[in-house]
Structure formats: C-alpha cells, structure tokens
Amino acid sequence: MVALPMLLAAVLLAGCTNGSKKDGSGAPDSTAAAGQDGQSSSYEKVVSNVLRSVVQINTSEGLGSGVVYDDKGDIVTNAHVVGAAKTFQVTTATSQKPLSATLVASYPPNDIAVIRVSGDLKVPAAKFGDSGKLKVGQQVLAMGSPLGLSGSVTNGIVSAVGRTVQEPRSEGSPATTISDMVQTSAAINPGNSGGALVDMNSQVVGVPTLAATDQQEGGAAPGIGFALSSNTVKRIADQIIENGSVSKSGRAALGVTVRPVLNQDYQPAGAAVVSVEKNGPADKAGIEPGDVITAVGGTQVADVGQLTTVLAEHKPGDTVEVTLDRDGNQQKIKVELGEQ
C-alpha cells in the first residue's frame, strides 16, 4: 500500500527534472525557457499592481485579510474574519504602524463584511472584475496573509465556477450555504480569508474564503479552495457602503421557519415548517405550519441543511415545485420564491 505512492512520486520527480525540454546536446530548450520567463514576468506584474491593495486585518480574536474597495477607506473582507468585533487594526504593505478601522456592516449569509479605515489609507483601491466571465483553467493568484505571513501570494487555476458550498459554523459566524463560488487550486490557508483572488489582468475576481476538508482523512484537502465571486462581493458590499445594510441579497427564500424531523427509524425525513411568513412566498402558495417539506424542484430534501442548499441554487422570482407531507398525504405546490 505504501510502496506504490512512493514509486509514483519518484517517477514524477524523475520526469520533471529542470522543468524544461532538452535537445540531443543536453542544452535546455530556449522556447520553454522563454515561456517560463514570460509567465514569471506576468506574475510579477500582477503582484505589483494588486498586492499593495491587499491588507492584513487584526482583531482581538485573530487575523485575516482584506481588499481596499474604494478611495474612502472601505475594505471588503469575510464576515467570519471580523466575527463579533467592531474595531480593527489594519496593516498595509507600506504602513509603518497599524491603522485603526471600524465595522461598517457584516452580512454573514454571504460571509461578507466591510470595515472602514479612519484617516488617509494611502493605498489605491483594487479593481474588481466580472466573475461571470471566468473560464475553467484560467490562471489566478491568491493574495493575503496566510498564517500571519502578510503579502503572501500563491498561484493556481480556476478549477470550477458556480459552486454551492456549505460553510461550517465558526466562532462569531453562523453556518451558511453560499452559491456562485469560485473553486481554485491556488492554496488557501488560515489568514487568507478576505484577501484577493486575482486574474492575469490584475482584477479581483474573488475573495478567498475557505478550503475544502477531507471528510475521510481529516484536515484540508490540498488544491481545493473556494472564493466568493467578485460579482457577489460587489453586489453586497455596494449595499453595505451605501445603506449600512443589505436589502437585495440575491438569495432565494421560501418565507418559512423550519426544524429537522425524523421518521420512525430515526432517520432524517424532511424539514418541518414551524411558522410561515405572512404574505410571504410559502403563505401565498398555501404552505402551512406542520407541513413537512421533502423536495424542492425535484431535489430531495432530507433535512434543514439540504433545504438551504437547494434554495441557494435558485434565484428570487424562480417558480419551483415544493413536495410536502401534510397529515400523511403527499402534496405538490408551486411556489414563486422570494428574497431573503
């Protein structure tokens, strides 16, 4: 069991010596070398353009990263980075001492927060791109302060787009389900949260948020990280800066409060409706307290978590078929989803 991986690693290393082709004389291939130099030059340009706009955020509970969003001193980061804190110390690449900042507002459902530095930040705002144009395989760089190592950069590719990810509960931040996330192979470690995922045009296309965990082995799953899409960040951050709150989340909602329910074998059997928001989507469709939701849009719902995940894959205004159990009888009801 152990010998095979060791042999495989040795073969891979032997096949990658020097990382370049050679001709019959043993000299490195000049075309490959030129390609490597060009790639390095591109990385250096992007780092030079963007890294100065990425800051380290310290709270009494820990640290994370942030991205300068505008010329007013606003910085976007993750809600789980700020936690319950209201005041922060911000360190830039050029500041000789930490700068004081205060919380503008936090929106935990999408794990986004905005803090504002008092005084002159003297750091240019990063340029946020259109994450809707991202392509799988596209090169990206992750910038932040992993493990407190400020100004760190890792490289990778866009591994997938449009992911829906369940984020576990952390101290000061509830569990949530987030849609439209960008999956990347760029390393994301503790402290990277709230930083910048940047394309080769020096535009922020995501905010690194969490790394996947290996359910069998435990610990982080190498090469699988997730970032909030820049389009989601812009939509939420703009509302926070303008209004101090979020009224248009883009998150679909049924307008119900639910709880877990078990069957006779003590297995999850759906999401039981505890209460219905008056004049909300469920109320208008005829869903009642006591109903047990077992499917939405044809996707089975065994528990509250699955209901949240299914709803995260829809948008406000979508019409879905909700399957429910009412007094032992199955019913199917069309519901036009509202907004959370």
- Integer Cα distance of 90 and 321 in angstroms: 48
- The pair of structure tokens assigned to 21 is 């082709």
| Contact present, 138 and 157 (Cβ < 8 Å) | yes
**Residue 296 CB: number of other CB atoms within 10 A?**
25
* Beta-bridge partner residues of 107: 112
**Residue 90 CB: number of other CB atoms within 10 A?**
24
- Integer Cα distance of 246 and 339 in angstroms: 11
Which of 65, 80, 159, 173 is labelled catalytic?
A: 80
Which of 74, 111, 199, 303 is labelled catalytic?
A: 111
Instruction: Give the torsion sign (CA, 317, 318, 319, 322).
Output: negative
Which of 193, 202, 229, 230 is labelled catalytic?
A: 193
Mark residue 155 as left, alpha or beta (left: phi above 0; alpha: psi -120 to 50; beta: remaining).
beta
Residue 80 among the catalytic residues: yes
**Residue 41 CB: number of other CB atoms within 10 A?**
10
- Strand locations in the chain (E): 54-58, 63-68, 74-77, 87-91, 99-107, 112-117, 139-144, 152-167, 176-184, 196-199, 204-213, 220-229, 252-253, 256-262, 268-276, 292-296, 299-300, 319-326, 329-336, 338-339
Residues designated as active site: 80, 111, 193
